[in-house]
Chains A and B, each alone.
Chain A
Amino acid sequence: MSFNRLLAVAKKEVIQILRDSRSLFIVVIMPVTLMMLFGYGVNLDLKGLPVYVYDRDGSQQSQDLLKHFQASKYFTIARVVNNYPALTRALDDGHAKMGIVIPWDFSQRLSEGGPVQVQALVDATDDNTANVLIGYTQAVVQGYSSGIQIAWLRERGLQIQPSPVSVETRTWYNENLESSAFIVPGVLALVMSVIGTFLTSLTIAREWERGTMEQLISTPVSAMEIMMGKLAPYFVLGMFDVVICALIAIYWFHVPFRGSFLTLLVSSAMFLVVVLSLGFFISVLAKSQFAASQIALLITFLPAFLLSGFLFAIEQMPVALQWITRILPARYYVSILKKIFLKGTPTALLYADLVPLAVFAFVLAALATRSFHKRLE
């Protein structure tokens, strides 16, 4: 192995990256764009959901109940309507996530002390949102209801013991329950996958496609020197993007960073070796830029997006899928990222994630090395 030849390949690659606006775009603009997109765009928090109200009673009491809804940060009373069709239409066209109908005898039956029901029409297209809505609605109505009970008892000179059991919640790790804190660290895994696999898959395939590989393999440069020389610049760019993304996460999105920065760099380096090797491997097999980029997206970007635990909790997946996630390097990297950022888990406790990641890095690097030969078929 000659360091000078490796360096020659790396230098050539750097010049090519700098002259290719597409590569530069992917290296510089894409990470920032993805951070912004996921930091702002993907919001799993349910706040201010639009609610339409059809108050058939129009009494002091019904207004009271609606004030309880309005007071909750989860709901916004978007509009008050005066017929059913208007309510249904709002649900149909998505202007409302929920419609509340207060019956005409609401106040009357309340004054009689009798039970009265309020109707909630919920858009359950997204079952998750619907479940959360129903929960919040029940909580709001429950609160209103117990207020009436207490008042009723007081009027009769009775005292009620304040709720004997209550919960005092402490939210750890993501104290403000911001979904950006949950999502943004995982974006690093997405960025690495794109830089690593996508760009690398192009670089070798390009040499075959443009015919430059034939002349390259007729020189004394070894297969190993070609691989390392080609991957080195992307490794540096990948690490650069790790730092950029981490800084955006910490200083722009105020995601807490409680772990060790060194561990972040080491685990990112290992994940980069994984994705770079994978990209190289794909490129050697595909030999056309188009095929290589498609395969790269399919086997790295999509799993990193869907199955890594980046957006969707692995524990919530079907058991079969949970098993599949175990063979995805991105899963371990995302897990490390979330622990380093939010939990500050000491490095010694990250071995369950670090060791599999290291094994993947080693195996894939070995596979990539063996896949490439200085031979035409």
Chain B
Amino acid sequence: MTDQPQPAIVADGLTKSFPGVRAVDALSFDVRAGEIFGLVGPDGAGKTTTLRMLAGIMPPDAGNATVAGFDVVRNPEGAKHALSYMPQRFGLYEDLTVDENIRFYADLFGVKKAERRQRSSQLLEAAGMAEFRQRLAGKLSGGMKQKLGLVCALIHHPKVILLDEPTTGVDPVSRRDFWRILYELIAEGVAILTSTAYLDEAERCHRVALLHQGKLLFCDTPANLKAGMGKGVLSVTGPEPRSLRSQLEHADGISSLVLTGDGLHVVVDDAPRRIPEFEARLRAARVSFDAIQQVAPTIEDLFVDAVGSGGSTHA
């Protein structure tokens, strides 16, 4: 639409309520071209509703949104040729083959035959699915299905891509393919907005918005978020993480605490001061531990600290 670099996605005060719940509450953020932006939050945080409103398939109660320069609230059809939306639930036809699904979406977006052939070969190759063209989509594995969804979503060179938990239930190899394709798109200047419940994936995004109960808690680069946390994270390791937790959860200076495989991650106000305190406390209680050391915070530490511990999150 315009020449000046305006954000590819602008959400401005988006609000949506369902009976008994405010799913999205005055949400504002923007996503630039060439950026992967992550929406992170537990189930029910409002991620799916936000993506649906931006995709122009669900009208917001209040607020504005533009996608690829089009006002998707007033003219939801305007941006559709320029965007791609991949719903959380597999949205392709299981009784159609891989090729037939691609062809269907290519036709809907008016992609010419020659271009479709070239683009689909390239995308299927990148997804490691070149030999599955004739297979029914319903017979693909979970990871393959998601990659096919991405191939269909990219067939028309969209400017904006909206992905709703695209890698949930996807095997690690397919996840890696998936992210590699996303990074390649960034080079083409595509704006990608993806929601994820995997907090390690959030670290791969250029910027992350933490959503909780429809509200935006933080929005920044993962590095800035972690640096700006203003708190230290201690890793406490030991043979019995649960005993460690029961000893430490009532100690002074702790704002949140989460179990990891070999111990605990504890978010504290002042790391250097708390390390000796915790060591003394554990020794007094005769709970054995291997080490207590300060570590770089992860998005998960940040998220759990912000939302309140006890919530289960994927690691």
Contact = CB atoms under 8 A, between A and B. Distances in A.
A359 interface: no
Contacts of A219: 80, 105, 108-109
B91 interface: yes
Contact of B107 (A7, A19, A218, A376): A7
Contacts of A374: 57, 76-77
B57 A220 contact: no
B91 A5 contact: no
Nearest to A16: B95
Nearest to A210: B94
Contacts of B30: none
A212 interface: yes
A217 interface: yes
Given A211-B89, A212-B91, A375-B58, A5 B108 contact: yes
B104 A214 contact: no
Given A15-B96, A210-B94, A376-B52, A215 B107 contact: no
B110 A214 contact: no
Contact of B108 (A8, A16, A211): A8
A211 B137 CA distance: 14
Interface residues of B, number: 31
B179 interface: no
Contacts of B94: 210
B220 to A, nearest CB: 29
Contacts of B95: 15-16, 19-20
B104 A8 contact: yes
Interface string A1-27: 010110111011001100110000000
Interface in B30-59: 52, 55-59
Contact of B92 (A212, A217, A218, A375): A212
B85 interface: yes
Given A7-B107, A375-B58, A376-B52, A215 B80 contact: no
Contacts of B151: none
Interface in B272-298: none
Contacts of A217: 57
A216 interface: yes
Nearest to B83: A218
Main SS class of interface, B: loop
Given A16-B93, A16-B96, A212-B93, A218 B55 contact: yes
Contact of B85 (A2, A15, A215): A215
Contacts, number: 75
A220 B80 contact: yes
Contacts of B89: 211, 214
A86 B223 CA distance: 100
B269 to A, nearest CB: 44
Interface in B95-140: 95-96, 100, 104-105, 107-110
A218 B85 contact: yes
A375 B108 contact: no
A8 B77 contact: no
A221 interface: yes
A15 B96 CA distance: 7
Contact of B58 (A211, A216, A376): A376
B63 interface: no
B144 interface: no
Interface string B57-101: 111000000000000000011001101111101111111100010
Nearest to A19: B95
A19 B138 CA distance: 13
A2 B108 CA distance: 9
- Between B57, B80, B87, B149, the greatest number of chain A beta carbons within 10 A of the residue's beta carbon is seen for B57
Given A218-B56, A374-B57, A211 B100 contact: no
B87 A211 contact: yes
A8 B100 CA distance: 10
A211 B88 CA distance: 9
Contacts of B55: 218
A8 B85 contact: no
A217 B109 CA distance: 12
B59 A216 contact: no
A336 B86 CA distance: 49
B92 A215 contact: yes
Interface string A207-240: 0001110111111111000000000000000000
Nearest to A376: B58
Contacts of B109: 219-220
A218 B55 CA distance: 6
A12 B105 CA distance: 10
A331 B229 CA distance: 74
A214 B87 contact: yes
A214 B108 contact: no
Nearest to B54: A218
B52 to A, nearest CB: 6
Given A219-B109, A374-B57, A12 B100 contact: yes
A16 B104 CA distance: 12
B104 A215 contact: no
A284 to B, nearest CB: 15
Contacts of A212: 91-93
Interface string A92-134: 0000000000000000000000000000000000000000000
Nearest to A218: B85
13 contacts: A4-B110, A7-B107, A8-B107, A16-B95, A19-B95, A20-B95, A212-B91, A217-B57, A218-B85, A219-B105, A220-B77, A375-B57, A376-B57
What 3 A-B pairs are tightest by C-beta distance, nearest first?
A: A215-B91, A8-B107, A218-B85
Given A218-B80, A374-B57, A375-B59, 4 more contacts: A19-B95, A216-B91, A218-B57, A219-B105
